[in-house]
């Protein structure tokens, strides 16, 4: 599937859209980490929680669990939450 990468993670991918495979959010992130080592830990902590200021959307719907199934051919967006200062 296509994965849309936020600017804060360009240093890993070098591009805004990349390919990754997997039947769940966890599997897609594991595949992304194989292709771009280190990227997963920046968005998922060691307890398996989505980091506080990161959101995932799959075909426009928010994904809140790593176990959620994702159908092939869709688009996963990794988004920096609107927070800061």
Partner 1 sequence: METESAGLRRVVLLVATRKGSWLYHGDAERRTWRVDGPHFLGHIISHLLLDPRDGRTLLAAAKTGHLGPTIFRSTDLGQTWKESAKPPAFAPPRGDMAGRSVDHTFWLTPGHADENGVWYAGTSPQGLFRSADGGETWAPFSCINDDPQYRRWMGSEKDGTPDGPKLHSIIVDPRDSQHLYFAMSSGGVHESYDGGRSFSTLLEGMEVVDGFNPDEVTFHDPHCVRLCPSNPDRLYQQNHCGIYRIDRPAQRWIRIGRNMPEHVGDVGFPLVVHPRDDNTAWVFPMDGTQVWPRTSPGGRPAVYATRDGGASWHRLDGGLPASQAWWTVKRQAMTADRQDSVGLYFGTTSGELWMSRDEGQRWECVARHLPEIYAVEAAELAWAER
Q: Which long-range contacts (CB under 8 A, 24 or more apart) does 59-63 make?
A: 63/25
Choice from 4, 21, 53, 61 touching partner 1 (CB under 8 A): 53
Binding of partner 1 by 24 (CB under 8 A): no
Q: Cβ of residue 24: shortest distance to partner 1, in angstroms? A: 20
Cβ atoms of 53 and 82 within 8 Å: the answer is no
Q: x/- binding map, residues 30-49, to partner 1, per CB under 8 A?
A: -------xx--xxxxxxx-x
C-alpha–C-alpha distance, residues 37 and 32, integer Å: 8
Sign, CA dihedral 41-73-71-55, equals positive
Site residues, partner 1 (CB under 8 A): 6, 8-9, 37-38, 41-47, 49, 51, 53-54, 80-81, 83-85
């Amino acid at each position: 599937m296509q994965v849309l990468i936020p600017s804060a993670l360009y240093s890993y991918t070098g591009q805004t859209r990349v390919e990754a495979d997997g039947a769940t959010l966890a599997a897609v992130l594991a595949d992304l980490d194989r292709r771009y080592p280190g990227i997963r830990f920046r968005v998922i902590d060691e307890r398996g929680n989505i980091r506080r200021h990161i959101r995932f959307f799959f075909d426009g719907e928010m994904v809140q669990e790593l176990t959620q199934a994702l159908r092939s051919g869709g688009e996963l967006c990794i988004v920096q939450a609107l927070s800061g200062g």
